[in-house]
Amino acid sequence: MRLHPPLGLEIAAARGVAALSRRLGAGGGTTIPGKLLAELDRGAIDRLASRLGEGTAVVSATNGKTTTTAMAAEILRPRHRLAHNAAGANLVSGVASALLSAGDAELGLFEVDEGALPELVGRLRPRAICLGNLFRDQLDRYGELELVAQRWREAMADLPAETRLVYNADDPQLAAVGETHAGSTAFGLDDAAAARPSLQHAADSKYCVRCGTPYDYAAAYVGHLGNYRCPRGDHARPPLDVAAREISLEGLERATFRLDTPEGSRRVELGLPGLYNVYNAVGAAALARALGAELDEIAAGLERFSAAFGRFERIAVGGKRILLLLIKNPAGANEAVRTLVDGGGPRLVLVALNDEIADGRDVSWIWDVDFEPLLPGLETLVASGGRAAELALRFRYGGLDEHAVELEPDLGDALDRGLELTPEGGELVVLPTYTAMLGLQRLLAARGLAKPYWERSA
């Protein structure tokens, strides 16, 4: 008697479902085969992963995991055939789907949901793990930040010695995890001139992980990420192995920095704006290095990279353009706002707030976002999504004039209205939550303006 159904049969069944899903137009089917496989036999994931000759690597973070993973893929692709969950399906089922469609891939490179990380680390036994950051996120889904951090600590405590752990040392919670693993790599930012004058309102892990005293920050970059030290001497940012220094942010266009590694330094010009993308780049660099990439390959890969799905993506609509910036939690949305303001601040913005499970059913997080810097030049807010009125209230109580608010809960109506208000040659800035972004992508694909997300390579 066999303990497992034949793997080939399971794979064929699961792939058939994905093809059917696409043909019926029901969406990408990016997780359907994986869901089926996870139902049939979760252990099949372990066996599929073990077929990859060069093993797997995973990236997890509250913010930036899609971009970090896509950057690492860009660096590694010239030398490795990759299996990569590029469309962002990052639960166990999504990784299973990527494994199912791996073909002749040698190396698996997966972004992984924070909650799914412990299970997937156990199943995939990755060669390398990149831990990017932990921010206050969907509390209704993940529970308190501390709980996620604790599960990560437990999962990392059991890692085999040979696993390469790469962590963002600027995040106190992750430093506490990373420091305990022998031979781990600390990455971060080191440029006081690029720091914020003070911690943001939504800063989360600002108390010493050992004694609870508020940290002193020599520099705070994004949320609670920075160069911190407990005034009682109980904990401080570890020395950085891989760092971005001499950072220069150039509006909505690019960010440049010097990438310092133990093997040497390179100047990197990144075609994406914002400090948060510098974090993504340094994390991707540290991960690729752990997987054997040379410094020149790393710098070249980062410079080739454009944008991951829905993250600072530009889409042409006739003579106008749409600029899509996904927002999903305070830390990420604050960076989107800061980047927009650095680029001059839009006169018109479309914000779409949904409250499905993938967005977080609790929408209170929008009140922790610092939207106020957008207000001075803002003439019109088109508020959309299932919770459009709540979003409109956020701006209204933030100080936006009532006449500047237009309520268009339906995404299609909101997009039409936004484009109507956009001058010829201009750009409509759209800040959607996750399911609103998927909805917009579907609308744009239906209008022939963008490729459906399941047909994209990265």
Partner 1 sequence: MTTIRVGHLYPDYLNIYADRGNIAVLTRRAAWRGHELEVTALGMGDSVAPGAHDLYYVGGGQDREQLLVAEDLVRKAVAIHEAIDGGAAALAVCGGYQLLGRGYRGFHGEDMPGIGLLPLETVAGERRMIGDVLIECELEPGEKRTLAGFENHAGRTRLDPGAEPLGRVLAGFGNDGESGFEGCRAGRVIGTYLHGPLLPRNAWLADWLLAQALAHRLGTEEAPELEPLPDELEGRAHEVSAARARSRGGRFDA
Shortest reach from residue 161's CB to partner 1, in Å: 31
Cα 235 from Cα 91, distance rounded (Å): 33
**Closer by beta carbon to partner 1, 166 or else 400:** 400
Q: Cβ neighbours of residue 358 under 8 Å, at least 6 residues apart?
A: 434, 435
- Cβ neighbours, 10 Å, residue 20: 13
Shortest reach from residue 421's CB to partner 1, in Å: 20
**Closer by beta carbon to partner 1, 12 or else 147:** 147
Q: Which two tokens stand for residue 439?
A: 């909805």
**Closer by beta carbon to partner 1, 212 or else 423:** 212
Give the side-chain half-sphere CA count within 13 A for 211. 11
Q: Which two tokens stand for residue 240?
A: 């950085």
Shortest reach from residue 354's CB to partner 1, in Å: 11
**Closer by beta carbon to partner 1, 370 or else 416:** 370
Mark residue 225 as left, alpha or beta (left: phi above 0; alpha: psi -120 to 50; beta: remaining).
Answer: beta
Beta-strand ranges (E) seen in 390-443 are 405-407, 427-432
Q: Which two tokens stand for residue 223?
A: 């949320």
> What strands, in cross-sheet order, belong to the sheet with 82-84?
82-84, 107-111, 56-60, 128-131, 164-168, 185-189, 242-250, 254-261, 264-270
**Closer by beta carbon to partner 1, 2 or else 403:** 403
Closest C-alpha to 111, from 136, 135, 94, 125: 94
131 to 59, 375, 398: CA distances (angstroms): 6, 34, 34
Side chain identity, residue 212: G
**Closer by beta carbon to partner 1, 19 or else 211:** 211
**Closer by beta carbon to partner 1, 56 or else 205:** 205
Closest C-alpha to 364, from 385, 394, 389: 394
Shortest reach from residue 408's CB to partner 1, in Å: 12
Question: CA 57, 132, 244, 188: dihedral to nearest 10 degrees?
Answer: -120
Shortest reach from residue 342's CB to partner 1, in Å: 24
For residues 221 and 277, the answer to whether their CB atoms sit within 8 Å is no
For residues 320 and 351, the answer to whether their CB atoms sit within 8 Å is no
Residues that bind partner 1 (CB under 8 A): 136, 139-140, 143-146, 201, 207, 212, 214, 355, 361-368, 386-387, 389-390, 392-394, 396-398, 405, 407
Shortest reach from residue 389's CB to partner 1, in Å: 4
Shortest reach from residue 341's CB to partner 1, in Å: 20
**Closer by beta carbon to partner 1, 26 or else 211:** 211
**Closer by beta carbon to partner 1, 266 or else 387:** 387
